[in-house]
Amino acid sequence: MSSQFALLTQRRFLPLFVTQFLGALNDNVLKNAMVMLIAFQGAKLSCASPGLMVNICAGLFILPFFLFSATSGQLADKYEKSQLIRLVKVMEVGIMVIATIGFTLPSLSCLLLALFLMGLHSTLFGPIKYSILPQHLHEDEMIGGNGLIESGTFLAILLGTILGGTLIAIGGEGAQWAAGVCISIAIAGYLASRAIPLAPAPDPGLSINWNPFTETWRNLRSLRQNRAVFLSILGISWFWFYGAIFLSQFPAYAKETLGGGESVVTLLLGIFSIGIGIGSLLCEKLSRHKVEPGLVPLGSIGLTVFAVDLWLASPASGAMGLSVTEFISRAGNIRILFDLVMIGVFGGFYCVPLYALMQTRSEVTHRSRIIAANNIMNAAFMVVAALLAIVLLSFGVSVPQIFLITAVINAGIALYIYSVSPEFINRFLSWIFFSRIPRK
């Protein structure tokens, strides 16, 4: 069995990986460029309340996941997937033309339309991306392939966030640079998609239900028919809840608790993303090329333990405006960075096997619709995460205390999943036992 990195040399995986990476990169370049433009140059956009508009941007991007996920799942089950991907990538180029108009004029309405359409782009691409993997990969490659996809996604989020903000920070021509970069990435994504091999439709005779509400309800009801898949989706959605809590609180945590400036926020995001990438890539070696549910309890333990330690390690307050160098040099902050990277690592252990389990145990003819239902639940959990954070902050709960509460809820969610599905714990114990036996 070869390493997962061998997949990056093969046409059945590399073009999809590059297409996915560039799509996630473009999402985040556009989002963060818009947020920075609104936050610091809101007057140019006639933006009366930058804080309100930033939250509207977040809502607009996630709204298509609720409205169109059910339809996108049906399309991915009915039609050949490589052609669908190319159509979605052509759509992305058109969206970036709209964004270019918005950045150049500048026009807030054009930018908001582009952001909504990029949310639609991600909604359409998600079910295709995850359902095409089992068609192109062997079963012993599923963990490695998903690990590469997840690590690439979080690296793209990190790079896109940094790049979007950096381009706007250039000044007068920053918006035009952002527009040019977005269009270039979209074109590169389309070119990469042209090399994706054919992936025949699993259910070409499917009659599409164009009513998103009834189809969404049907998809969500169908999840309970397969307990393993339902619990996998519940676990994945919880992971996005957990991640959304941490990522959304990094700016306030860096400024109010750690006393850091903008560069420290980037450092926290980078450390967290790198940790998830490392954990995702380690899954293949730890699972010995198998879809191993036993890694999920290991991941959930780490997510709780290191989040609790992050709460313990967080200072009551810090000096203001620290640079990255000043922050790292202060006693105790290395422990904080270690906790964040380990939360990311164990997050990778947690989510990658769940994605592979969802893909391999879903009925072939309904796989894309199952993944679409997963996307709906992911979006719902992320919205609930945002609402919970708002409520807790309004009651005076500090950011470190929010991390602690999330860790406690994580332990409760884990106990629920493992109590109704002992397979996870049984496989975890088996994994511990067999991992101690040396390979011949």
Contact 89, 186 (CB under 8 A): yes
Residues 66-99 as b/e (b if ≥16 CB within 10 A, e otherwise) read bbbbbbbbbbbbbbebbebbbebbebbeebbebb
- Of the candidates 277, 342, 241, 288, which has an alpha carbon nearest to the alpha carbon of residue 146? 277
| Size (the chain), residues | 440
Amino acid 86: pLDDT: 97
Domains delineated in the chain: 1-195 (1.20.1250.20), 219-440 (1.20.1250.20)
* Residue range 110-123: mean pLDDT, rounded: 94
Please, what sign has the CA dihedral across residues 327, 333, 337, 343? negative
Kindly provide the residue ranges of all beta strands, DSSP E only, lying in 30-186, ordered along the sequence.
none
Backbone torsion region of residue 320, taken as left when φ is above 0, otherwise alpha when ψ lies between -120 and 50, otherwise beta: beta
Q: Which helix (H) or strand (E) holds 309?
A: helix 295-313
226: exposed, middle or buried (Cβ count in 10 Å: 0-12, 13-18, 19+): middle
Of 363 and 342, the structure prediction assigns the larger pLDDT to: 342
Least confident of 43-57, 213-227, 251-265: 43-57
Cα 383 from chain centroid (whole Å): 14
Q: Please state, in angstroms and rounded to a whole number, the distance separating the CA atoms of residues 122 and 138.
A: 26
Residue type, 415: L
Q: Please state, in angstroms and rounded to a whole number, the distance separating the CA atoms of residues 20 and 16.
A: 6
End-to-end CA distance of the chain: 14
Q: Please state, in angstroms and rounded to a whole number, the distance separating the CA atoms of residues 110 and 373.
A: 30
Q: Please state, in angstroms and rounded to a whole number, the distance separating the CA atoms of residues 321 and 68.
A: 43
Amino acid 211: pLDDT: 92
Q: How confident is the model at residue 422 (pLDDT cuts 50, 70, 90)?
A: confident
- Of the candidates 412, 375, 367, which has an alpha carbon nearest to the alpha carbon of residue 202? 367
pLDDT at 1 over 60: no
Q: How confident is the model at residue 336 (pLDDT cuts 50, 70, 90)?
A: very high
Q: Please state, in angstroms and rounded to a whole number, the distance separating the CA atoms of residues 78 and 331.
A: 57
Cα 422 from chain centroid (whole Å): 27
Q: For 200-226, how does the pLDDT look when each residue is reduced to its tens digit (9 = 90+)?
A: 999 999 999 999 889 988 888 887 788
Percent of the chain clearing pLDDT 90 (strictly above):
62
Q: How confident is the model at residue 48 (pLDDT cuts 50, 70, 90)?
A: low
Amino acid 235: pLDDT: 92
* Residue range 331-353: mean pLDDT, rounded: 94
316: exposed, middle or buried (Cβ count in 10 Å: 0-12, 13-18, 19+): exposed
pLDDT at 193 over 80: yes
Amino acid 47: pLDDT: 63
Q: How confident is the model at residue 172 (pLDDT cuts 50, 70, 90)?
A: confident
pLDDT at 68 over 90: yes
Amino acid 332: pLDDT: 87
Q: What is the mean pLDDT of the chain?
A: 90
Q: How confident is the model at residue 318 (pLDDT cuts 50, 70, 90)?
A: low
Of 401 and 139, the structure prediction assigns the larger pLDDT to: 401
Contact 321, 255 (CB under 8 A): no
CB neighbourhood size of 52 (10 A): 11
pLDDT at 437 over 80: no
Q: How confident is the model at residue 316 (pLDDT cuts 50, 70, 90)?
A: confident
Q: Please state, in angstroms and rounded to a whole number, the distance separating the CA atoms of residues 323 and 263.
A: 6
Amino acid 46: pLDDT: 64
